[in-house]
Amino acid sequence: MRNAICALALLLLCACAAKPPQLHGSVLTPPPQAHGFALRDQHGTPYALSQSRGQTVALYFGFTHCRDVCPQTLAMLGKARNLAGLTPQQVRIVMVSVDPANDTGAALRRFFDKVGVQATGLSGTRAQLQSVYKAYGIAVIPEKHDIGHTGTIFLIDSRGRLRELLDPSAASTAVAADLRAIVD
């Protein structure tokens, strides 16, 4: 009985305490600095991850002719950003291409327009991209009619720290809560 009373008292004490924001993915503690890189965006403009300081970045890897996961991930991130009441200036969605031969600037722009999400699409030389894949632990496996690749979403805070790893199948409502918790 005494143990039950102690447990109840502890439960009530915890319920009354202010709780830190709950993140839904794999939280990295302490958060390491995200690996920097420089590629070109869908307009041919140089883009370095460091230029997004002051913004939260949702970084993922994909390709424009993907039929399912890549457009679904982009749509989910856009929906989560909207549900969180955040703007593209507060949360930048960045997709690094795993298919540089086909993901031209025009293809990336069409892809984002088709899905209806404001995002930044990045590509570069095979050597540049291999360096980014390696830094983020991304496996890219060309298949006959597809490209297998790691689908992890990396949430990077406004100070350039890698805060959370998300599964692309995460619910947009959970990701929205995570974005609100991370945005300064």
Mean pLDDT of the chain: 87
What is the pLDDT, as a whole number, of residue 128?
Answer: 97
Q: Band of the pLDDT at 18, cuts 50, 70, 90?
A: very low
* pLDDT band at residue 26 using 50, 70 and 90 as cut-offs: low
Structure confidence at residue 30 (pLDDT): 86
Rounded Cα distance between 73 and 155, Å, is 13
- In the chain, the domains with their CATH numbers are 23-182 (3.40.30.10)
In the prediction, which pLDDT does 24 show? 52
pLDDT at 3 over 60: no
pLDDT, mean of residues 24-30: 69
φ, ψ (nearest 5 deg) of residue 21: -55, 140
**Look-up: residue for tokens 């439960």?**
11
Per-residue model confidence (pLDDT) at position 173:
96
pLDDT band at 184 (very low <50, low <70, confident <90, very high): confident
In terms of Cα–Cα distance, which of 150, 153, 157, 178 is closest to 31? 157
Q: What does pTM read for this prediction?
A: 0.84
